[in-house]
Structure 1
Amino acid sequence: MSSNLSIRVLGGPTAFFDYGGLNFLTDPTFDTPREYVRPGRPTQRKLAPPSAQPAELGRIDVVLLSHDEHADNLDDSGRALLADVPLTLTTPGGGTRLGGTAQGLADWESVELERPGGGTVTVTAVPAIHGPGPREAVEGVLGEVAGFVLTGEGLPSVYVSGDNASLDAVKEIADRFGPVDTAILFAGAPRSPHFFDGAALVLDSAGAAEAARVLDARRVVPVHCDSWAHFTETREDVVAAFQAAGLADRLD
Structure 2
Amino acid sequence: MRLTHLGGPTVLVELDGWRILTDPTFDPPGRRYGFGWGTSSRKTEGPALGLAEVEPVDVVLLSHDHHADNLDDAGREMLTRAGVVLTTRAGARRVAGGGDVRGLQSGEETVVRAADGRTLTVRATPCRHGPPLSRPIVGPVVGFAVRVGDQRRTALWMTGDTVLYGALRTAAEELDVDVALVHAGKVRFPTTGPLRYSMDGSDAVDLISTLRPRVAVPVHYEGWSHFSEPPAHLHEAIDAAPADVRERVVWLDRGVPQEV
Query: Considering the TM-score relative to the shorter chain, is it more than 0.5?
Result: yes
Structure 2: tracts of 5 or more residues without a match: 251-260
Count of residue pairs brought into register by the alignment: 243
Among 35, 45, 54, the alignment partner of 2:51 is 54
Query: How large is the RMSD of aligned CA atoms in angstroms?
Result: 1.8
1:159 to 157, 160, 169: 157
Q: Specify whether residues 219 and 75 from structure 1 end up closer, same or farther in structure 2 by C-alpha distance, changes over 3 A only.
A: same
Listed as ranges, the gaps of 5+ residues in structure 1 are: none
Q: Which structure 2 residues correspond to residues 1-252 of structure 1 after superposition, within 5 A?
A: 5-33=1-29, 34-37=31-34, 40-100=37-97, 101-115=100-114, 118-133=117-132, 137-152=133-148, 153=150, 157-178=155-176, 180-195=177-192, 197-246=193-242, 247-252=245-250
**Corresponding letter in the other structure for 1:89:** L
For the 8 Å contact 1:170–1:214, the answer to whether it is kept is no
User: Structure 2: how far apart are the matches of 1:91 and 1:56?
Assistant: 27
Q: Whole-Å Cα distance in 1 between the matches of residues 34 and 166 of structure 2?
A: 33
Cα shift at 1:243: 1.9
Q: TM-score, normalised by structure 1?
A: 0.90
TM-aligned CA deviation for residue 86 of structure 1: 1.7
Within 2, Cα distance between the matches of 1:182 and 1:90?
A: 20
> Would you say the 8 A contact 2:162–2:197 is kept in 1?
yes
Partner SS state of residue 194, structure 1: helix
If the length of structure 2 is used for normalisation, what is the TM-score? 0.87
Q: Structure 1: which 4+ aligned runs deviate by more than 3 Å?
A: 37-41, 115-119, 153-156
Contact 2:164-2:207 at 8 Å conserved across structures: no
In the alignment, which residue of structure 1 is the partner of 2:255? none
Q: What letter is aligned with 1:57?
A: V
8 Å CA contact 1:30–1:78 kept in 2: the answer is yes
For 1:72, give the aligned amino acid. Answer: D
Residue deviations 1:189-212 (CA, integer Å, cap 9, x gap): 1101323x3322011011011111
Given the superposition, is the C-alpha separation of residues 213 and 53 from structure 1 closer, same or farther in structure 2, using an over 3 Å criterion? same
C-alpha contact (below 8 Å) 1:222/1:235 kept by paired residues:
no
Where 2:24 maps in the other structure, the secondary structure is coil
Contact 1:44 1:229 in 2 (8 A): yes
The answer (yes or no) to whether the contact 2:79–2:96 under 8 Å persists in 1 is: no
Q: CA deviation at 1:40?
A: 4.4
1:62-84 per-residue CA deviation (whole Å, 9 max, x = no partner) reads 11111111111111111111111
